[in-house]
Structure 1
Amino acid sequence: MTRTAQEVLADAVQGLAPGEGANRLVPLIAAGEAPREVITAFTLEQHHVIAGDRHSFAHLAGRAAEEPAVARFFESLTLGEDLARSLLGPLATACGLDEEAVRAHEPRPACQAYPSYVAWLALNAEPVDAVVALTANFAAWGGYCAAVGSALREHYGFDNPACGFFDYFAGPGPEEEERSAEAVAAGLASGRLSEPLAHRYGRLLQAYELMFWDGLAVR
């Protein structure tokens, strides 16, 4: 039976979802029990994550030039990273960070494993396989961002502009879901999609995602 793009993506999102309790930090933030310093660390690390991911997505878009639907997916992600970078400004201000503090920050290895692996995917993975892996990870990431954005308002006194970064990533809109499905449909039609490899990449992305959150608590 021929599988649809929606079935492929649903299987990846469900099959690669982190287990309950896998992320140890987000529940603490959601309950207001994590120190405010982890939000500061998050903000500092994200400056490096966003810069790396933007370059990786742009490279994947270029590699996917022969499949326009796949290229559009990554072009959209590239533009999304530009917006995300602008939304870090109010969050940094709320954390008491200025440009000098951001520049002086030395990134933590555990927090930078994720963008390092995205860069590996940009160089080595079939782009449509990366679409599936990233879509599965974004589902988990979106849930984390939704929980943190709510907690920052309720427990930490952050205002709406400071939470804009988390609101942006809290869940994919219809356009994002459509682009993902179109990219996967193109990969199915061309025979370039390998679900086993896509799931391998997604499993590793989820693991590196959890390393990011764990790394925020490291002193």
Structure 2
Amino acid sequence: MAFSTDAWQRNARLIDTIQEMDFNRALSAGTLERDVFKYYVIQDSLYLAGYARALAAAGVKAPDSEAMLTFTGSAQEAIQVERALHASYFEKFGIDPAQVQAAEPSPTCLAYTSYMLGLAETAGYAELVAAILPCFWVYWEVGKRIDAEAGPDNPYRAWIDTYADESFGEAVQAVIRHVDRAAEAAGPDTVAAMHHAFMRSTQYEWMFWDAAWRREDWPVKP
């Protein structure tokens, strides 16, 4: 069994829970509160800065030129596509770019990016790409389901179209192939570490949407 198939099956209950989260159901219905989505977009901008660095690190660690191109290209695309998407929402929802620059990551955002960047510094290629995969794959699955349910006048249609798009699906499939190849070349201990990394990042995906729904803030401030 391919690593990706095994990892998805092991985390199927958690992924199903993500699909049914209040944030994603309200996004699908077009009823998500504007302030909740504004919070999400700002935190997502902060997250993607760290995620792009993790992708770039995977490119540096990659064992061959094909994988190197996939991950370094994904790092560049993550910045370009998300900047364009976020910019459109910054304008639509009246978000001042200076507000984004001044924003601090939520506890969950900081924990997720710190986890990913920690692996980029200390883990091998296989474990790192296993941690990177859920952000790609879970977003694609969520995007496809919401796309099938949401109407054309959904106020969040640009977000939906980005993650349900065929080109994004092709990028997801490319990352899955590289993760599976890494697992095929790895020993049992590394494969076990890959499964743990995939699981932990999937948990963080749930936590990130939950934090946006609650508009999570630091409980104690100076």
Query: Shared topology, TM-score over 0.5?
Result: yes
TM-score range (shorter-chain normalised) is: 0.7 to 0.9
**Alignment partner of 1:120 is 2:118:** yes
How many residue pairs get matched?
Answer: 208
Contact 2:3-2:179 within 8 A present in 1 as well: no
Residues 147 and 108 of structure 1, relative CA distance in 2, 3 Å threshold: farther
Aligned residue type for 1:210: W
Contact 2:58-2:129 within 8 A present in 1 as well: no
Contact 2:59-2:67 within 8 A present in 1 as well: yes
Q: Which runs of 5+ in 2 are unaligned?
A: 216-222
2: CA distance, partners of 1:201 / 1:40: 29
Q: Provide the identity percentage.
A: 23
Higher helix share: 2
SS at match of 1:25: helix
Report how far residue 176 of structure 1 moved: 4.2
The aligned runs of 1:154-165 (5 Å cut-off) are: 154-155=153-154, 157-158=155-156, 163=158, 165=159
Report how far residue 193 of structure 1 moved: 8.1
Residues 178 and 76 of structure 1, relative CA distance in 2, 3 Å threshold: same
Contact 1:60-1:127 within 8 A present in 2 as well: yes
Q: Which residue of 1 aligns with 2:89?
A: 91
1: CA distance, partners of 2:33 / 2:172: 33
TM-score (ref. length: structure 1): 0.79
TM-score (ref. length: structure 2): 0.78
RMSD: 2.9
Aligned residue type for 2:74: L
* Alignment equivalent of 2:5, drawn from 10, 18, 21: 10
Q: Which residue of 2 aligns with 1:74?
A: 71
The aligned runs of 1:107-146 (5 Å cut-off) are: 107-146=105-144
**Alignment partner of 1:214 is 2:214:** no
Q: Which runs of 5+ in 1 are unaligned?
A: none
* Alignment equivalent of 1:168, drawn from 162, 169, 175: 162
